Structure 1
Amino acid sequence: MRASASGVVVNTFDAIEASELAKIQTELSQPAFAVGPLHKLSPAAAAEHNFLHAPDRSCLAWLDAHPPRSVLYVSLGSVACVDRAVFDEMARGLAGSGVPFLWVIRPGSVRGAAEDAPPLPAGLDMNRGKVVPWAPQRDILAHPAIGGFWTHCGWNSTLESVYEGVPMLTQPCFADQTVNARYVTHQWGVGLELGEVFDRERVAEAVRKLMVGEEGAVMRARARRLKIQANQSAAATLAIDNLVKYIYSL
């Protein structure tokens, strides 16, 4: 592949991965084109028929009733699964945090559970929360009521959150997600790790720290700065123009 490749196209932008792009070019001796965030450069990709499941759009009206930056959005993506014990601690931690939350519980997302959405723990106070089987994630992250994103750190979700200036709670599950989470927390400083010790008290503490704590406020300010850079990248066509010119020159 290296011998036959004429270049590399990457869904990213210079402000978050300039050194990585430089390393790719050096190692391959080929140009690397950072054309992201692609979800903003290709509006057709956001068409509703491309969703994995039919999204419950009623959650947007639910968000309308909440103050700015007050709701935590929780979604572990389209593939990742958790054990039942982890799921129960997530639920009890969210309910105990005192923070409003919108939680996507995908059918089949809990190991060993039926294909339907797993039942929440008995006696759980859900007055502050809303649960949906699937959601229009990009619209949710762009909603002014969203103040944080509890995510598995898949690259698409990470870029979508960065683009909207939303700080993150990271719970990586496999593959590139652990590295992505490390960038979110240690490289860019726009997120918190939930950590390997996972219980309801730690969950509630992490949620409050991100949503209402001073540390979360600092991360939110950093996330806003990244948002400006991501929006500037999406608004400019230079990367795509350079890629087109390069393709024509081959």
Structure 2
Amino acid sequence: MDENEDEKNAAEVHVSNMRIKKYEEYRDSSESDWILGNFIRELEASALSEIPPHFKHPTMVGPILPVNVLQRTSTKEDTCLHWLNAQKPKSVLYVSLGSVATVKKDQLQELALGLGAAGLATLWVVREDLTGEKGTSLSEGFLQRTQERIRIVSWSPQLLVLSHGAVGGFLTHCGWNSIIEALSMGVPLLAWPQLGDQYMNAEVSVTKWGAGLKLNNFEKKLVRRKHN
């Protein structure tokens, strides 16, 4: 079995598990007296009207933001935020692809070269398992050339980052929490969905709400460094 076949089978299993989970959530929700959703009424009033009548009292209570994050103090947070403090207002591109999605090594390299060529101050979250393997696969040469302009961290206090005055844009995988947090903090999106409902989130956020821009032809297997 080749690598593409393995990836296809893994994706099918993942989708199947998601469907089972969603069905169980759907079943449990239909038996509830109230359904509270982390949605913003002003943005999704039309969606609320489409909820089937057997769901009792659907209520939008968003945006729900994790206030406890604002109280966390760690070395990583301090280092990350101190770096932002030294940047000009609205000058930093924040880049994070979430905590689940993985990208191939060649895609990581293309993204790195693109960010390096963009000339922007960038705070980039690169998980140790972002490529599905241990280690980031970023070359020492790249790290040295860009260390003054691109800050790379393995984790960031995202809500604090998005609320910081230096952040002017967010390259995001379009997970729902990330979108809610960015909208709440007034940070425009550069949408690059990776899997599942992120594609729909990106489409709605950009096309319907006008919350930012979407990478063109992001469905391609490899998004090049000069991508428009």
TM-score (norm 2): 0.78
Alignment correspondent of 1:134: 155
Secondary structure of the equivalent of 1:72?
strand
Query: Where in structure 2 are there 5+ consecutive unaligned residues?
Result: 1-26
Tell me the distance in 2 between the aligned counterparts of 1:122 and 1:107. Answer: 15
Contact 2:167–2:187, Cα closer than 8 Å, also in 1 = yes
Structure 1 residues 19 and 123: CA distance shift in structure 2, 3 A = same
Query: Where in structure 1 are there 5+ consecutive unaligned residues?
Result: 206-250
Alignment correspondent of 1:87: 108
Tell me the distance in 2 between the aligned counterparts of 1:82 and 1:46. Answer: 30
Deviation at 1:57, TM superposition (A): 2.7
Secondary structure of the equivalent of 1:119?
coil
Deviation at 1:96, TM superposition (A): 0.3
Alignment correspondent of 1:96: 117
The amino acid of 1:162's aligned partner reads L
Q: 2:83 aligns with which of 62, 65, 84?
A: 62
What do residues 25-63 of structure 1 show as CA deviations (whole Å, max 9, x unaligned)?
Answer: x44352211011111xx63465539xxx98443111111
Alignment correspondent of 1:48: 72
Structure 1 residues 9 and 86: CA distance shift in structure 2, 3 A = same
Asked if 1:35 is matched to 2:61, the reply is: yes
Structure 1 residues 55 and 177: CA distance shift in structure 2, 3 A = farther
What do residues 77-129 of structure 1 show as CA deviations (whole Å, max 9, x unaligned)?
Answer: 11111111111111000000011100011111113x32x4x131353231311
Structure 1 residues 3 and 56: CA distance shift in structure 2, 3 A = closer
Percent identity between matched residues is 38
Alignment correspondent of 2:98: 77
Secondary structure of the equivalent of 2:203?
helix
CA RMSD of aligned residues (A): 2.1
Tell me the distance in 1 between the aligned counterparts of 2:116 and 2:189. Answer: 18
Structure 1 residues 123 and 156: CA distance shift in structure 2, 3 A = same
Deviation at 1:6, TM superposition (A): 2.0
Highest RCO, 1 vs 2 (Cα 8 Å, sep ≥ 6): 1
Tell me the distance in 1 between the aligned counterparts of 2:171 and 2:178. Answer: 10
Contact 2:69–2:159, Cα closer than 8 Å, also in 1 = no
Contact 1:57–1:135, Cα closer than 8 Å, also in 2 = no
TM-score (norm 1): 0.71
The number of equivalent residue pairs is 194
Tell me the distance in 1 between the aligned counterparts of 2:54 and 2:92. Answer: 44
Deviation at 1:5, TM superposition (A): 2.5
